[in-house]
Structure 1
Amino acid sequence: MGRVFMVDLQGQIYSCKHCKTHLTKDQDLLSKTFQCNHGQAYLFSEVVNISIGKREVRMMITGLHTVTDIFCVGCGSNVGWKYEIAHDKNQKYKEGKSVLELCKIMGPHDTNKFHNF
């Protein structure tokens, strides 16, 4: 197996919490209103430096979706999922988009959590 090519992003970025591999840019953020088993999650239009798991049909809060889990190529951690097919026509906007779980990433959303008093 060859060496994994990783994309280095510029600007405000979101990275894997475990290994700091770049995953996406703040400008690719579409929504902050998603939920996962571990709390809050964000929807992004583009995510890099990931590998894709097998397709699965899952019943989610917003209905039936075909999704793939996504994993950081740096450390192999599961960082979220990608929507492949939305079975409800009102959810089609999610197709091809990725959700990253906030507990598994670090980025601009962390800036308000730490204060130097």
Structure 2
Amino acid sequence: MSKRAYIEIDKNDLPEIFEIELAGQNVYLKFDFNYVGQFYTVDLFDNNMEPIVIGEKLSYGRKLWSGLSNPLIPNVDIMPFDESLKEKTITPENLGVTVFLYLMTLENDGDYL
């Protein structure tokens, strides 16, 4: 059982878009797979479907939207991560199996960021 909440992605039905509440604000996330580069991406939209960040690459162990300073980005740490610490990358085989898009809310989560 997971210690953290996570955002569920249906990797078999991409592109996938859905509304979600993050840090008290409703936003839309759109997930897709880049077949040329072999990586997953996420787009962030406000509640009017206006783009905030487009084409953010999901990178294992790296917080989404890190390094961006846009007040429209929800103030929440979201990171592709494997709680067992066995994985080091995101692949079609492990996403949604051992690697999940976690909301990093535990006290020691800053150690991973």
State which structure, 1 or 2, has the greater radius of gyration over its C-alpha atoms. 1
Higher normalized strand content (fraction of residues): 1
Output the TM-score relative to the length of structure 1: 0.29
Output the TM-score relative to the length of structure 2: 0.30
Higher normalized helix content (fraction of residues): 1
